[in-house]
Structure 1
Amino acid sequence: MKEIKFTTNYEPVLSFSDKDFKTKYEERVGNNPGYIQVVSGETKHLALCPRCNNPVAILGIYKKIDVAPHARHAKGINIPYVAQYDEYKFQNCPYHKKRADYIKEYVPETEEPQRHELYRITKKHYDKAVYLLQKETGIYVTLRMAEALAENYAIMRAYNYIDATIYNIPWFLIYSYNGFPLYHMIIRKNTTLYRHLRQLGLDLKDSKVKGHAYVENGEGYVLTATNYRYVVDGNDNLNEWLDFSIIRPDDTVTDTLLYVPVDRFSVSVDSYHFGNLINYQNWKPRQNVLDIAKRYMNP
């Protein structure tokens, strides 16, 4: 992995690409012996994985290696009073699994108490999550849509999905939902979604929302997020996407409502944008959106 952090709480990551990485690492750990341990006669400089909170060892900073500096999970090593190595979390960490399972499987009950922090952050920063979801997908999320997403997130306990993290909260809001009707949906122009709707021949009219259009003739069509997926490439870069499908009712089935796909596309998302947004000091809260989170995301 190319980033580390220092506690199990949410905090900005420290990237190996930072030219002052070594100085910032040493300033952060100070003389705390938990982060610098001698294991089997070898000194290990430790931190935490930003995805699974397990201890990791820093490689290539204090001893030359044949590849770029990075961190690797330190199996079986604990950082006293900070983090205990957890095999379950390691097995399900993106940096170990390399690819998502694409399933909405829940973590074991023993892991659920630790997910309450993720749920709390979703509630506290819900307006930022909605903002970023809009920015990355091009969907203009109305207050009614924000209500539907918040209620569903709580009911589905999406924060307990195995692949859910603080960093992908905005994507799991819509990934856990069963889809929105396209009819009169407002879409930002020149986005991937906008281009695909035009290719389908749906009529898009200028919206009162600047830089947006609304779908005039998409009655019956539904937009649904089918997969959240990630791949850790050979250079340890974590790449994430949301897969979407545009579906419409199947006219050949008359006794029940079934759908057929008419288009599929993916939206690439920034793995750490939401984390940076949480720490943005000049953010102007959208109180009406935060009130929705308070109403539907009960403690």
Structure 2
Amino acid sequence: MQTGKKSPYRQNKNNSISYYAVCPECENPIQMVGIFKATEETEDKTYGRHHKGTIPALATYDEDDYINCSLSSPKRKKSEKLRSPTSKVANQTLTILKIQFDRVIYLISKQMSVKISSSLAEKMLKQYLAEEGWLHREATLNNIPWLFVQCNPAIPLFGRYIVKDSELHQEIVKHCPDVDCSGNNGDEYVQIRQANKSYVRLYFTLCNYRKKVEDEHLIETIDFWLYEDTPYGKELKTIFSKEIVMQTDYFNNLIQNNRKNDYRNQALLDVSNKLINFKAATD
């Protein structure tokens, strides 16, 4: 149903039929195994196996991206160096960030329950570009919003708006008596302010990225961490920590939705167009 059983997904070579697709993480070609008949290898399971070669009109093979793919051979040692600047995944990651920056910010704001202003989003993008975040080995086309935040240092929460009655809001009320978050911004947000003339030392970040494969499905998680800064030499005080399961399918559906372009945030798109100075790929 997805391919129509047509070329380039269906290939007839020397009267032997093979079916191909594209790896969702590294964008390399994969061969579909066990679609119509089980073998000793498949044991009645259908799965995709990386194909080390280009399938014309479908996918161009990239060895560098294959080596660092979570879905490739687990026995292969992954490189700790940055991706090559010519990496297909790296360049497509930067392309998506440029043309979908408003949706990236929308998604991470929603998952963290923190409103990311345009000025903060611009600072975060500058940091991401300085860190060459799109070249990091962990970065893929699916986890762009979360790895974008992880490339940034912890961000002060003072003066920012958080979602009213969210888990984050409730934990701050419970554990931070010196923080005033009673100021409303409509019905959705409250503002983090100081109480009793105290100084608010709360910071938030995303950290501890993890990934695992379960039943041939990649699961990616990252921790949202809110902590209170302490005098130098003392351990930081954790206020709230939560594991976030990356909604990669939701992100992909979001950026592929062209029916609601009227709701795009042009201010954020102006920021990404200004800072990401290259011609975005369209393929």
Same fold (TM over 0.5): yes
Partner residue in 1 for 2:281: none
Task: Pick from 176, 191, 197 the counterpart of residue 214 of structure 1.
Answer: 191
Partner residue in 2 for 1:249: 229
CA distance in 2, matches of 1:286, 1:142: 11
Does residue 153 of structure 1 match 2:163? no
Query: How does 1:260-271 map onto structure 2 within 5 Å?
Result: 260-263=236-239, 264-271=241-248
Distance 1:291 1:180, change over 3 A: same
Task: Pick from 72, 77, 86 the counterpart of residue 96 of structure 1.
Answer: 72
Q: Which runs of 4+ in 1 moved over 4 A?
A: none
Question: In percent, how many aligned pairs have the same letter?
Answer: 22
1:62: how far off?
A: 1.9
1:87: how far off?
A: 3.5
1:226: how far off?
A: 1.9
1:120: how far off?
A: 2.1
Distance 1:252 1:53, change over 3 A: closer
SS in 1 for 2:64: helix
CA distance in 1, matches of 2:269, 2:60: 34
Does residue 231 of structure 1 match 2:212? yes
**TM-score normalised according to structure 2 size:** 0.80
Q: Give deviations 1:256-283, integer Å, cap 9, x for gaps.
A: xx76142432222201222211121223
Letter in 2 for 1:265: K
CA distance in 2, matches of 1:210, 1:173: 29
Q: Give deviations 1:75-128, integer Å, cap 9, x for gaps.
A: x34313543433332221122377xx9x985213453x7623321221111111
1:252: how far off?
A: 5.7
Query: How does 1:1-299 map onto structure 2 within 5 Å?
Result: 23-25=1-3, 27=4, 30-32=6-8, 35-38=10-13, 43-64=17-38, 65-74=42-51, 76-96=52-72, 106-111=82-87, 115-202=90-177, 203=179, 204-217=181-194, 219-233=200-214, 235-251=215-231, 253=233, 260-263=236-239, 264-280=241-257, 281-283=259-261, 284-299=263-278
CA distance in 2, matches of 1:67, 1:43: 19
CA distance in 1, matches of 2:255, 2:236: 38
Letter in 1 for 2:70: P
SS in 2 for 1:141: coil
Distance 1:67 1:221, change over 3 A: farther
CA distance in 2, matches of 1:267, 1:97: 26
1:130: how far off?
A: 0.8
May I ask how many residue pairs the two structures share in their alignment?
Answer: 263
1:199: how far off?
A: 4.1
Matched-pair contact (CA < 8 Å) for 1:243–1:266: yes
CA distance in 2, matches of 1:85, 1:297: 26
1:185: how far off?
A: 2.2
Task: Please report the RMSD computed on the Cα atoms of aligned residues, expressed in angstroms.
Answer: 2.9
Letter in 2 for 1:266: E
Distance 1:268 1:294, change over 3 A: same
In structure 2, runs of 5+ residues without a counterpart are 279-283
In structure 1, runs of 5+ residues without a counterpart are 1-22
CA distance in 1, matches of 2:114, 2:103: 15
CA distance in 2, matches of 1:187, 1:67: 49
1:223: how far off?
A: 1.0
SS in 1 for 2:59: coil
SS in 1 for 2:273: helix
